[in-house]
Amino acid sequence: MGLEEQRDVETDVYQPAEDSQLLADAVCERLEGAERVLEVGTGSGFVAGRIADETDARVIASDLNPHAVRQARGEGVEAVRADLVSPFRDGSFDAVAFNPPYLPTDPENEWDDWMEHALSGGEDGRAVIDPFLEAVGRVLAPDGVVYLLVSSLTGVDGVVERAGEEGFSAVAVADESFPFETLTVLKLFR
């Protein structure tokens, strides 16, 4: 079944799309050994599952959405319900991957359901990215890296600048252009 047909299979969980593929490819190509990897906002578990299948990494996934956690577990992914990185110990991951909700959304048009949480990034598209950047450093091992997917709709430069305020350097390691946006995977490191 192609990605297109899968989109409406499970309405409460974000299903893998082009952004998921791009992030999974970028992370799988860059992991070197038995790293401990956290995927935040795992959704269906697609990215975490690919990392677990294609690398020697030990992968844990988290999502705020209980339906997503259930679906990811059903795919064999070790998933826990969590808000971003809150329950994890300091310094416990060598890499953190995140495909955040990044679509800028007019507050007048917000609706409260799980798909909204999976897609909406608030007015500037960064309502989830900014708190993630504030929190993620705590759970990274000393040489840990973050792979963050960002859309041109959100403004990559603004995200890089915000990451800099949290002590991260950023380099774009992958991107893909679509008619309405360009998706970029940023590697953040200290």
pLDDT tens for each residue of 49-73: 999 999 999 999 999 989 999 999 9
Q: Which of 26, 128, 31, 22 is nearest to 84 (CA)?
A: 128
pTM (2 d.p.): 0.88
Q: By CB neighbour count within 10 A (0-12 exposed, 13-18 middle, 19+ buried), where does 90 fall?
A: exposed
Geometric angle at alpha carbon 30, from 79 and 183, rounded to 5°:
80
- Residues 171-182: tens digit of each pLDDT: 999 999 988 899
Q: Which residue has the tokens 């007048």?
A: 108
Q: Taking the chain, what is the end-to-end CA distance rounded to the nearest angstrom?
A: 40
Q: Write out the E strands in 68-181.
A: 79-81, 93-98, 140-151, 169-177
Is 6 a residue whose pLDDT tops 90?
no
Cβ atoms < 10 Å from Cβ of 185: 24
Find out whether 38 and 96 touch, Cβ atoms under 8 Å. yes
Q: How large is the average pLDDT for residues 93-116?
A: 74
Q: How large is the average pLDDT for residues 31-43?
A: 95
